[in-house]
Chain A
């Protein structure tokens, strides 16, 4: 049994690498998109605010599974053909982006108005106010839910196996298909996911402590 699993390890490792790659792409892309849209939601002119609001509410109202199938099977209908890998990354990114938008909005809204005004009063431009006054303070509130969201993204990436992409989950299923060693392999898989997310939570707690400079 162990021999068979050991034999399958390189294959599992490849799946694991793909899981990490998908997660990394989703986390980075959604962070960039979410922060941009979040700033639009908080500070943008009314049409922009509405557009972001509708985007965020719609996406968050759709189960992630439906979103994945929608992107994979629905987009070709309008002439957009994506490889299953990129369809999965896009769907997960959309989902995550809507969450990042909300974290950002919440974090920025928690900063008192007087901070922006003080920053304006010394002559900082909008971008400078965000960069030097608002974001550094909002960061501490943004971090905990966002890290939570990152661990969700790692777990959620297992859904890409539904599109036939060989991530860790799919690799495990395939090895089980060959070896019939379901329990040990699922336990191994659970341990790997757990280890990654534990490491993330640990890093998050360290970061939060580092940024605990603001009284509440």
Chain B
């Protein structure tokens, strides 16, 4: 295989482990995501999906292994002493500038309630990217237009529906032009009739080539929109592959089959 045909690896998660106290939440998780890929993580509650995503932008630290974005290690400074357990955490400034390269969209939206829709998007552009407020405003308006909210630029989050808030949440993340977008159950808090408008935005970003890792329970969407699906169980990657393979009813992976069966029973 010629390396020029294959898109470069953007996210490289290698043997990452993490525990909360005595609970091993991640057990030697390895996963790579190529540039432009959409990878969906599924799995039972408590399997570590959220924790893994949070480690990728270092909202959560990890105990061992490494996570690299574009070759640069997340959270820790490189050094020869790394494997002897003497990892050195990056400085606050360093962490902040690395986090700016990964966008995150939250289940609970987490918009800043004291700022307008445009203000939410402009904050990172002005304070982190150093853009003038006029420039930031026009970028914010561009992205609000993209998510269908061009007319809501000056609305406060409290004045928006859940679906609209989440679309602002997506616009806020992508306006920073991150290398990768992390989405954790971003439609779970929405009324069913609002889910579609948010997924449509995600789909259009995927078509634009945005690299994404998402956790979702929307199986139909995962099947249609993902390049690959990762099935996590008990803090590890239990299965990974193209949607058709992973979601096939005749899979030989016992846990996956049980998960899908339970899932079909409750969701279809």
Q: Which of B92, B93, B111 has a CB less than 8 Å from the CB of A118? A: B111
- Please tell me if A128 contacts chain B, counting CB pairs below 8 Å: yes
Interface size class of chain A, counting residues whose CB lies under 8 Å from the partner chain = 20 to 34
**A120 contacts chain B at the CB level, 8 A cutoff:** yes
Residues 108-127 of chain B, each 1 if its beta carbon lies under 8 Å from chain A, else 0: 10111110000000011001
Given A114-B106, A117-B106, A215-B158, A122 and B172 touching (CB < 8 A)? yes
B41 in the interface, Cβ–Cβ < 8 Å? no
Within the complex, what minimum Cβ distance (angstroms) separates B89 from chain A?
13
Chain A residues with CB below 8 A from B123, complex form: 122, 124, 132-133
Segment with Cβ contacts to A, from B74-82, B97-105, B248-256, B260-268: B97-105
Chain A residues positioned under 8 Å from B98 (CB to CB): 123
User: How far does the alpha carbon of A137 sit from the alpha carbon of B176 in the complex, in Å?
Assistant: 23
Please tell me which one of the listed residues B93, B110, B158, B173 contacts residue A114 in the complex, with CB atoms under 8 A apart.
B110
Say whether chain A's binding surface is mostly helix, strand, loop, or mixed: helix
- Asked if B114 and A122 make an inter-chain contact with CB atoms under 8 angstroms apart, the answer reads no
Give the contacts of A95-118 with B (CB-CB under 8 A): 112, 114-115, 117-118
* Cα-based distance from A214 to B97 in the complex (angstroms): 29
Q: Are B128 and A122 in contact (CB under 8 A)?
A: yes
Is B156 close to A, CB under 8 A? yes
From A112, A115, A121, A215, B173 is in contact (CB under 8 Å) with A121
Q: Bin chain B's interface residue count.
A: 20 to 34
Write out, one digit per residue, whether chain A residues 132-143 have a CB within 8 A of any chain B CB (1) or not (0): 110011000000
* Contact between B112 and A118, CB atoms less than 8 A apart: yes
Question: Is A126 close to B, CB under 8 A?
Answer: yes
Asked whether A120 lies within 8 Å of B158 as measured between CB atoms, the reply is: no
Residues of A close to B172: CB separation below 8 A: 118, 122
- Which chain B residues border A114 with CB–CB below 8 Å? 106, 108, 110
B96 CB within 8 Å of chain A: yes
Do A117 and B114 contact each other (CB < 8 Å), given the known contacts A123-B99, A123-B176, A132-B127? Answer: no
Complex: A137 Cα to B59 Cα, angstroms:
21
Complexed CA–CA distance, A114 and B108 (Å):
8
Decide if B173 touches A214 in the complex (CB within 8 Å): no
- Which residue of the partner chain, among B97, B108, B114, contacts A136 with CB atoms under 8 Å? B114
| B127 & A124 in contact (Cβ 8 Å cutoff) | yes
Taken together as a complex, chains A and B put the C-alpha atoms of A137 and B111 apart, in Å, by 12
Contact check: which of A117, A120, A213 meets B96 at CB < 8 Å?
Answer: A120
Assembled-state Cα–Cα distance A124/B93 (Å): 9
A48–chain B nearest beta-carbon distance, Å: 16
Contact partner, A213, options B110, B113, B173, Cβ 8 Å: B113
Say yes or no for A125: interface residue by CB 8 A criterion.
yes
CB <8 Å contact, B127 and A128: yes
**Residue in A123, A133, A137, A215 whose CB lies within 8 Å of B100:** A123
**CA A155 – CA B15 in complex, angstroms?**
63
Q: Which of chain B's residues have a CB closer than 8 A to the CB of A137?
A: 112-114
Could you say which residues of chain B place their CB within 8 Å of the CB of A128? 96, 127-128
Whether B113 contacts A123 by the Cβ 8 Å rule is no
In Å, the complex CA distance between A124 and B59 comes to: 13
Q: Is the CB of A121 within 8 A of B96?
A: no
Complex CA–CA separation, A214 to B158 (angstroms): 8
Neighbour of B124 across the interface among A117, A122, A126, A136, CB < 8 A: A122
Given B92, B102, B112, which contacts A125 in the complex, CB threshold below 8 Å? B92
A126 to B96 Cα, complex, angstroms: 8
Other-chain contact of B110, A118, A214, A215 (Cβ < 8 Å): A118
With A117-B59, A213-B114, A215-B113 already in contact, the answer to whether A123 and B158 are too (CB < 8 A) is no
Q: Which chain A residue shows the least CB distance to B54? A: A117
Decide: B112 and A115 in contact? CB cutoff 8 A: yes
* B57 touches A (CB below 8 Å): yes
- In order of increasing CB-CB distance, the 10 nearest A-B pairs are A123-B100, A122-B124, A118-B110, A114-B110, A121-B104, A123-B128, A125-B96, A215-B158, A123-B99, A214-B113
24 A-B pairs with CB atoms under 8 Å apart are A117-B104, A117-B110, A118-B106, A118-B110, A118-B172, A119-B112, A121-B102, A121-B104, A122-B100, A122-B123, A122-B124, A122-B128, A123-B97, A123-B99, A123-B101, A123-B124, A124-B127, A126-B92, A137-B112, A137-B113, A137-B114, A214-B114, A214-B158, A215-B158
| A→B interface (CB under 8 Å) | 112, 114-115, 117-126, 128, 132-133, 136-137, 213-215
